[in-house]
């Protein structure tokens, strides 16, 4: 079944109903037209998938490609188009097997649950120090600036093996990359400086290896000629970008979800062992990477009774899939007891988030400590006035004023 080409095509991305719900159009589409046409800001058409089963089927489909250089690929953020125009090789996240598989094989052993366990004491220390720092601020204080952004930054520093003396430089530059207020010139300058910094870090780890991710990648892959220096640098940069803002947004919005659902917060405080299920429910409920999994069909295929032609773009809407009433009853209810682990907030298929074990560990440690150490935490501004990140590929908060 194909659609009537004369029918009106809605614009995409659709507006999110803050603070938590995905766009209201998703539920209507899932009911009436679960595989439907939309148009991106640059005019590129794409199919939107709003059912959990269809999203998973497409993301796991062998003839569906994540290669942004393919003509017709739906570009969600302008930088994706620039990469293609400038003839740069896209990061492995936007490549297909077999190239993509080389990087997955390289990274998966670095992010196993076992490897993450080794990081636990260091992450606990980082979270405790950062909570001390937040609590030392004048009240009300911004939880984004003093907790949500610095924690992932310090954790990434520790994971990669950035020396402590360079933390400030590193945080300063990544702060510029992630800030809404930075000018394009500031971003370009910070990017050049970070690339130079990572180049030096790779050389340093070649000379003096340590027990960290960059040393491991240098020793196991660069020195064996399995990856070029440039591709290793691009991969480290991707880890940095993919892991930083996402986790920061989950910390700030997850805190807000708990504060806005006091009975759930009380349940978590009463039984800290619920923190794992609570984090899974936050991931499902917030689905901050809703529009990230863009793809293109390389062969004609059928999805939920609709024919998708080779060369047509697809977007598996994670927020829609994770709010599919057939899979998650009453999805608008934030319920830490629901058992949400089968959500697809980390994507699905070969591109499923490589850093998910690290993200889970960070979030579990952070929420366990936040709930126990700051029992009087409360919002210091009306929830409807908060500065939500309405633009961009990942949903989040620019600031979260809190008191205690
Ligand atoms: C991929 C979400 C944290 C590194 C993805 C994808 C999603 C996602 C939805 C799949 C994109 C697609 O299919 O096109 C998240 C969320 C996070 C998080 C919600 C925080 C809660 C992290 C962290 C790291 C990381 C901490 C690394 C340290 C990556 C990488 C990919 C990826 C490298 C690409 C994987 C591939 O293409 O094979 N993430 N992520 N992410 N993520 Fe995450």
Q: Which atom of ligand 1 is nearest to the CA of 360?
A: 21
Question: Residue 8 Cα, ligand 1 centroid: separation in angstroms?
Answer: 33
Is 366's C-beta closer than 6 angstroms to any atom of ligand 1? Answer: no
Q: Is residue 56 part of a domain?
A: yes
Question: Residue 135 Cα, ligand 1 centroid: separation in angstroms?
Answer: 30
Q: Is residue 46 part of a domain?
A: yes
Residue 36 has pLDDT above 90, yes or no: yes
Angle, helices 229-260/275-286, rounded to nearest 10 degrees? 100
Centre a 10 Å sphere on the Cβ of residue 401 and count the other Cβ atoms it contains: 16
Q: Is residue 1 part of a domain?
A: no
Q: From its phi and psi, is residue 347 left (phi > 0), alpha (psi between -120 and 50) or beta?
A: left
Complex-level ipTM beyond the 0.95 threshold: yes
Question: Residue 206 Cα, ligand 1 centroid: separation in angstroms?
Answer: 27
- Alpha carbon distance 269, 261 (integer Å): 12
Q: What pLDDT band is residue 165 in, cutting at 50, 70 and 90?
A: confident
Q: Which atom of ligand 1 is nearest to the CA of 294?
A: 14
Partners of 380 in the β-ladder: none
Centre a 10 Å sphere on the Cβ of residue 93 and count the other Cβ atoms it contains: 18
Do residues 259 and 378 make contact, with C-beta atoms less than 8 angstroms apart? yes
Residue 3 has pLDDT above 80, yes or no: no
User: Among 92, 238, 246, 322, which is best to mutate for testing ligand 1, by the most ligand atoms less than 8 A from CB?
Assistant: 246
* Domains: count for the chain: 1
Question: Residue 354 Cα, ligand 1 centroid: separation in angstroms?
Answer: 6
Is 359's C-beta closer than 6 angstroms to any atom of ligand 1? Answer: yes
Residue 1 has pLDDT above 50, yes or no: no
Is 238's C-beta closer than 6 angstroms to any atom of ligand 1? Answer: yes
Q: How large is the average pLDDT for residues 57-71?
A: 96
Residue owning the nearest CA to atom 15 of ligand 1:
346
pTM (predicted TM-score): 0.94
Q: Is residue 217 part of a domain?
A: yes
CATH of the domain at 234: 1.10.630.10
Q: Is residue 7 part of a domain?
A: no
- Alpha carbon distance 21, 334 (integer Å): 11
Give per-residue pLDDT as tens, 312-367.
999 999 999 999 999 999 999 999 999 999 999 999 999 999 999 999 999 999 99
User: Among 154, 355, 361, which is best to mutate for testing ligand 1, by the most ligand atoms less than 8 A from CB?
Assistant: 355
Residue owning the nearest CA to atom 36 of ligand 1:
351
Q: Is residue 68 part of a domain?
A: yes
Long-range contacts of 34-38 (CB under 8 A, 24+ apart): 34/304, 35/303, 35/304, 35/305, 35/306, 35/308, 36/3, 36/10, 37/3, 37/7, 37/9, 37/10, 38/9, 38/10, 38/11, 38/12, 38/315
Give per-residue pLDDT as tens, 214-260.
999 999 999 999 999 999 999 998 898 888 889 999 999 999 999 99
- Alpha carbon distance 287, 276 (integer Å): 16
Spell out a b/e string for 357-393, using b for 16 or more CB atoms within 10 Å of the CB, else e.
bbbbbbbbbbbbbbbeebeebebeeeeeebebbeeeb
Q: What pLDDT band is residue 51 in, cutting at 50, 70 and 90?
A: very high
Residue 231's domain spans which residues?
A: 25-403
Q: Is residue 5 part of a domain?
A: no
Per residue, what are the HEC states of 55-80?
HHHHHCCCCEECCCCCCCCCCCCHHH
Q: Is residue 11 part of a domain?
A: no
Give per-residue pLDDT as tens, 388-401.
988 778 899 999 99
The sign one gets for the Cα dihedral 33, 62, 240, 199 is negative
Is 347's C-beta closer than 6 angstroms to any atom of ligand 1? Answer: yes
């Amino acid at each position: 079944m194909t659609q009537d080409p004369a029918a009106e095509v809605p614009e995409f991305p659709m507006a999110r109903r803050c603070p938590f719900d995905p766009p209201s159009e998703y539920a209507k589409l899932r009911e009436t037209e679960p595989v439907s046409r939309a148009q991106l800001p640059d005019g590129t058409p794409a199919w939107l998938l709003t059912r959990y089963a269809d999203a998973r089927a497409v993301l796991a489909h062998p003839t569906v490609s994540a290669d942004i250089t393919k003509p017709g690929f739906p570009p969600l953020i302008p930088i994706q188009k620039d990469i293609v125009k400038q003839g740069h090789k896209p990061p492995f996240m936007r490549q297909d097997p077999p190239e993509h598989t080389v990087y997955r094989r390289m990274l998966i052993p670095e992010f196993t649950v076992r490897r993450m366990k080794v990081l636990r004491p260091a992450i606990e220390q980082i979270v405790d120090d950062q909570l001390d720092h937040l609590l030392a601020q004048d009240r009300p204080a911004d939880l984004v600036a003093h907790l949500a952004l610095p924690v992932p930054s310090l954790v990434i520093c520790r994971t990669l093996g950035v020396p402590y003396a360079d933390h400030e430089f590193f945080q300063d530059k990544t702060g510029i990359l992630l800030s809404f207020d930075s000018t394009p010139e500031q971003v370009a300058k910070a990017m050049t400086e970070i690339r130079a910094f990572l180049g030096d870090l790779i050389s340093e780890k070649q000379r003096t290896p340590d027990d960290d991710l960059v040393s491991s990648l240098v020793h196991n892959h660069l020195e064996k000629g399995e990856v070029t220096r440039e591709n290793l640098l691009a991969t480290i940069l991707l880890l940095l970008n993919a892991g930083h803002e996402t986790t920061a947004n989950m910390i700030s919005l997850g805190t807000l979800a708990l504060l806005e659902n006091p009975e759930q917060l009380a349940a978590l405080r009463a039984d800290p062992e619920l923190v794992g299920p609570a984090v899974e429910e936050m991931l499902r409920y917030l689905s901050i990477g809703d529009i990230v999994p863009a793809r293109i069909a390389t062969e004609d295929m059928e999805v939920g009774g609709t024919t998708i032609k080779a060369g047509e773009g697809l977007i598996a809407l994670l927020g829609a899939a994770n709010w599919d009433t057939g899979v998650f009853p009453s999805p608008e209810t934030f319920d830490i007891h629901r058992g949400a682990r089968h959500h697809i907030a980390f994507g699905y298929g070969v591109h499923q988030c490589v850093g998910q074990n690290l993200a889970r560990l960070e979030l579990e440690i952070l929420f366990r400590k936040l709930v126990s150490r700051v029992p009087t935490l409360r919002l210091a501004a009306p929830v409807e006035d908060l500065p939500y990140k309405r633009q961009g590929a990942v949903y989040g908060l620019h600031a979260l004023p809190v008191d205690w």
